[in-house]
Amino acid sequence: MSDIKQAIEKAYQAHVTSLYKVLSQAILMADGNTDEILAAEEKFKQGLTHAEDVKARASVAAGL
């Protein structure tokens, strides 16, 4: 695997890890409030979609 591809994958994984931590904290802070939990889950899904899009675009931009 090329260094650039590895860097993109590592950045993607770090971003997903960050999203997970934010989701976990939001669920904790929601304190059982279903609407807040659902909103946090939706933001998590949007974040994952964004991360996947950026990863794909970075790969294309790098010629991978």
Domain containing 46: what range?
3-61
Query: First-to-last CA distance in the chain?
Result: 10
pLDDT tens for the chain, 64 residues: list them.
799 999 999 999 999 999 999 999 999 999 999 999 999 999 999 999 999 999 999 999 999 9
Global pTM exceeds 0.75: yes
Domain count, the chain: 1
Distance CA 5, CA 7 (A): 5
pLDDT score at 8: 98
